[in-house]
């Protein structure tokens, strides 16, 4: 793409009418530039990492040949990792408007810096030569040829040089595949062999690298400027102009600019030679030891690199309140097969709190994680008896909603769907063998109408859960292995995905697959063969051994209960801490936050010896869409909640006030299905929470 990810100062331009607010997982906050092939947007990850998101124009995307090249180059570029490169983070070559995202590289391009400040000198020049040679070595090691090395494709960031568009520029400007009448590369940076035969291999990259370093050192194009045919003649028949290049560096560049590609220095050799010059410049090279470890090369490069730190206030997201809302979108679970429209809602009579410890016997389904341990709760809803029936108190609320159609929130997922079935089609219940990669590879797409219905139920319910955290870009693939009687739910690849995102995918896949299979087993026990499920994650396209995140069976319940009662856990708390912005949830959280503060102040006024929240206590509120639970947690930096009495007051205030808000919303909003709560505490600077109490709100 003929556009850079940063301008001379890397500042963001305002978004224009029609620009997207989100591309993939990235929030778009402006533009970085635009060109004939598309637009580069400034984006932020959920954690605040700055990214450059390049979107191809629809006119280019409609060209099947272009899209095929773009897809191939994205796949190649995903393999390239190394120093002084701008890594590919994510891409969607199949989108209506294909896009790719790279880490943002702040700073001017080489040509911009040379035009404004002159050539590079001293240690910075040697660091530039070393870093760009390192980048070329990494590209070639991955089996990729850049084919467009030039000053416009190298950014001088405060941390070092960064080579752009390795494998991407080729696709974006239509030069990734040599075709009749099409020149690959830019005049002045094209190798002699390409002019002669159209060959563009690693040796051609090194020719362009030599010209690049020469330009950075002198401010002049080594083969001059002018008409393309004139420049081509000089490249083929004349020696480069290297006047002013330091003598030792000049020897390396002469080898890179040799007319015969077989005489040229390789990227790895150039990296070593330039690193030795860099070490000599820094006077750090130990006599007799001419080999430098990569880590030491990186230290030397950083020490000698001299570029100003840049900042752009427009990148900074608005500061959050000390009581940040960690909020999620609230969506009703999508309808599953055989009448599954959601999971069972329990609003049992009695108090709001179950109380008690978070450990104990009675889990109805210890779904195993990839490590073999029983993981966190995986149900989106509350207690269902092991015989698959619901208590009378679990019926949909009466009163204002009694005359409405059946509430989908009251649908029941059977805990033991094959109870009393003498000859079920699913015969592998209770097997201890963990599903393996061979079974995953042997799985196939849904073929029968029943399989397609189950696939849709799983995908829809996962989408509804993941969307609450703006993670619905993690679209699952659902496949079936009839022989293994197992359904495979697979995600990825998504580059550099945070661990909490992958854990959300596992939990969503676990509850969606279990719920869909349990209902199908209950409705068609003698014909439906699938009762096991696996949630996996691919690390790259073509990955034949994806990571198994979790697996389980739908025959032993889809809920995690302790002694028949729901309990919150650290996984749910972590999910509640992932931000989102649904308007209903923001409203409920804001009301609950104010109610908790008011109730706490009332307790203070009653003389219980409590400290106000502003005095060392920070309160956060968030929602876990898998367990359908609200979490309230306190960060106690001054020990104000260290005593048993103080903690008892906090959990009582949390239970009472949160349940008031959840009940009110449940009654008025049929899309609202949060009925549970957990109170937690982080003492001082501890990262390990103390789960104080959990419960299900009574009607």
The SS3 of residue 251 is helix
Closest residue by Cα to residue 156 from 309, 30, 276: 309
Cα-based distances in Å from 404 to 569, 580, 675, 693: 35, 31, 20, 34
- The whole-angstrom separation of Cα 163 and Cα 155 is 7
E-state strands within 302-395: 325-326, 368-369
Q: Is the dihedral of CA 430, 431, 435, 441 positive or negative?
A: negative
Q: Quick check: 435 and 483 in contact, CB under 8 A?
A: no
- Distance, in Å, from the CA atom of 451 to the CA atom of 459, rounded to the nearest integer, reads 12
- Whole-angstrom distance, CA of residue 246 vs CA of residue 121: 9
Q: Which one is catalytic: 148, 205, 416, 624? A: 148
Please name the residue that has the structure tokens 């359904």.
Answer: 487
Q: What 3-state DSSP class applies to 42?
A: strand
Which token pair is 148?
């467009």
Contact 343, 380 (CB under 8 A): yes
- SS3 annotation, 87-99: CEEEEECCCCCCE
Phi, psi of 272 (to 5 degrees): -65, -45
CA distances from 235 to 115, 179, 223, 258, 262 (A): 23, 22, 6, 10, 16
The helices-and-strands tally (H runs, E runs) of the chain is: 17, 19
Whole-angstrom CA distances from 200 to 11, 155, 313 are: 35, 23, 42
Half-sphere exposure of 456 (CA within 13 A, CB side): 13
Residue 44 to residues 74, 621, 683: CA-CA distances in angstroms?
21, 23, 31
- Please, are residues 74 and 493 in contact by the beta-carbon 8 Å criterion? no
Closest by CA to 628, choosing from 393, 325, 354, 379, is 379
Residue position matching structure tokens 């003698």: 526
137 neighbors 149 (Cβ within 8 angstroms): no
Three-state DSSP state, 418: coil
Nearest to 30 by CA among 436, 263, 314, 432: 314
Q: Which segments within 269-371 are labelled E, that is strand? A: 325-326, 368-369
- Please give the structure tokens belonging to residue 79: 């393999």
Of 497, 496, 492, 498, nearest to 474 (Cα)? 492
Q: 533: number of CA atoms within 13 Å, CB side?
A: 30
- Give catalytic status of residue 165 as yes or no: no
Q: Measure CA 292 to chain center.
A: 35
Are 476 and 459 in contact by the 8 Å Cβ rule? The answer is yes
Q: Which two tokens stand for residue 612?
A: 């106000």
Q: Please name the residue that has the structure tokens 């401010």.
A: 219
What is the DSSP code string of 322-376?
A: SS-EE-----PPPP-GGG--S------SS-S---S-S--S--S---EETTSS--S
Rg of the chain in Å (alpha carbons) = 30
Catalytic residues: 148
């Amino acid at each position: 793409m003929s556009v850079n990810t940063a301008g001379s100062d890397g500042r963001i331009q305002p978004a224009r009418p029609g620009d997207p607010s989100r591309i993939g997982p990235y929030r778009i906050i402006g533009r970085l530039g635009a060109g004939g092939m598309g637009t580069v947007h400034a984006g932020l990850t959920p954690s605040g990492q700055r990214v450059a998101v390049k979107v191809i124009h629809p006119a280019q995307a409609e060209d099947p040949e272009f899209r095929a090249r773009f897809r191939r180059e994205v796949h190649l570029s995903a393999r390239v990792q190394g120093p002084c490169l701008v890594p590919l983070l994510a891409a969607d070559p199949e989108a209506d408007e294909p896009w790719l995202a790279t880490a943002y590289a702040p700073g001017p391009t080489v040509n911009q810096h040379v035009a404004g400040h002159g050539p590079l000198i001293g240690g910075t020049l040697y660091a530039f030569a070393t870093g760009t040679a390192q980048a070329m070595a990494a590209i070639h090691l991955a089996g990729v040829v850049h084919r467009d090395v030039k000053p416009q494709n190298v950014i001088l960031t405060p941390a070092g040089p960064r080579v752009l568009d390795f494998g991407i520029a080729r696709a974006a400007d239509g030069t990734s595949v040599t075709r009749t009448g099409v020149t690959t590369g830019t005049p002045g940076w094209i190798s002699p062999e390409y002019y002669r035969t159209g060959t563009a291999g690693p040796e051609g990259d090194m020719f362009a690298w030599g010209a690049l370093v020469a330009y950075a050192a002198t401010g002049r194009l080594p083969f001059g400027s002018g008409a393309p045919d004139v420049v081509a003649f000089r490249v083929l028949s004349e020696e480069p102009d290297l006047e002013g290049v330091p003598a030792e560096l000049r020897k390396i560049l002469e080898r890179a600019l040799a007319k015969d590609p077989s005489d040229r220095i390789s990227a790895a050799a150039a990296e070593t030679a330039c690193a030795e010059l860099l070490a000599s410049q820094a006077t750090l090279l130990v006599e007799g030891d001419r080999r430098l470890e990569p880590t030491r090369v990186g230290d030397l490069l950083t020490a000698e690199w001299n570029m100003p730190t840049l900042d752009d206030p427009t990148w900074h997201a608005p500061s959050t309140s000390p009581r940040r809302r960690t909020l999620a979108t609230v969506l009703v679970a999508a309808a599953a097969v055989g009448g599954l429209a959601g999971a069972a809602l329990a609003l049992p009579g009695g108090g709001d709190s179950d109380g008690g410890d978070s450990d104990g016997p009675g889990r109805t389904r210890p779904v195993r994680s990839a490590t073999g341990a029983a993981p966190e709760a995986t149900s989106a809803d509350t207690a269902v008896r092991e015989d698959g029936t619901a208590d009378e108190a679990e019926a949909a609320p009466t009163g204002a909603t009694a005359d409405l159609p059946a509430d989908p929130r009251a649908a029941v997922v059977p805990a033991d769907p094959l109870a009393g079935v003498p000859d079920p089609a699913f015969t592998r219940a209770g097997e201890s063998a963990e599903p393996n990669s061979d079974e995953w590879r042997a799985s196939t797409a849904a073929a029968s109408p029943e399989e397609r219905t189950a696939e849709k139920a799983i995908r829809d319910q996962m989408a509804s859960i993941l969307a609450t955290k703006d993670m619905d870009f993690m679209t699952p693939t659902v496949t079936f292995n009839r022989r293994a009687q197992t359904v495979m739910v697979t995600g990825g690849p998504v580059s550099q995905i945070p661990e909490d995102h992958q854990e959300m995918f596992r939990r969503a896949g676990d509850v969606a697959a279990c719920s869909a299979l349990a209902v199908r087993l209950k409705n068609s026990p003698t014909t439906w063969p699938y009762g096991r499920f696996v949630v996996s994650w691919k690390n790259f396209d073509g990955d034949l051994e994806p990571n198994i995140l979790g697996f389980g069976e739908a025959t032993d319940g889809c809920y995690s209960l302790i002694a028949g009662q729901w309990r919150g856990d650290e996984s749910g708390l972590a999910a509640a801490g992932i931000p989102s912005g649904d308007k209903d949830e923001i409203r409920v959280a804001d009301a609950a936050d104010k109610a908790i503060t008011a109730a706490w102040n009332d307790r203070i006024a009653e003389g219980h010896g409590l400290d106000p929240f502003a005095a060392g206590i920070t309160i956060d509120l968030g929602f876990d869409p898998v367990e359908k639970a609200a979490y309230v947690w306190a960060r106690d930096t001054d020990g104000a909640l260290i005593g048993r009495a103080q903690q008892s007051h906090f959990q009582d205030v949390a239970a009472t006030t949160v349940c008031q808000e959840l009940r009110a919303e449940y009654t008025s909003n049929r899309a609202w299905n949060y009925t549970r709560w957990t109170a937690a505490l982080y003492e001082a600077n501890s990262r390990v929470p103390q789960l104080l109490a959990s419960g299900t709100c009574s009607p």
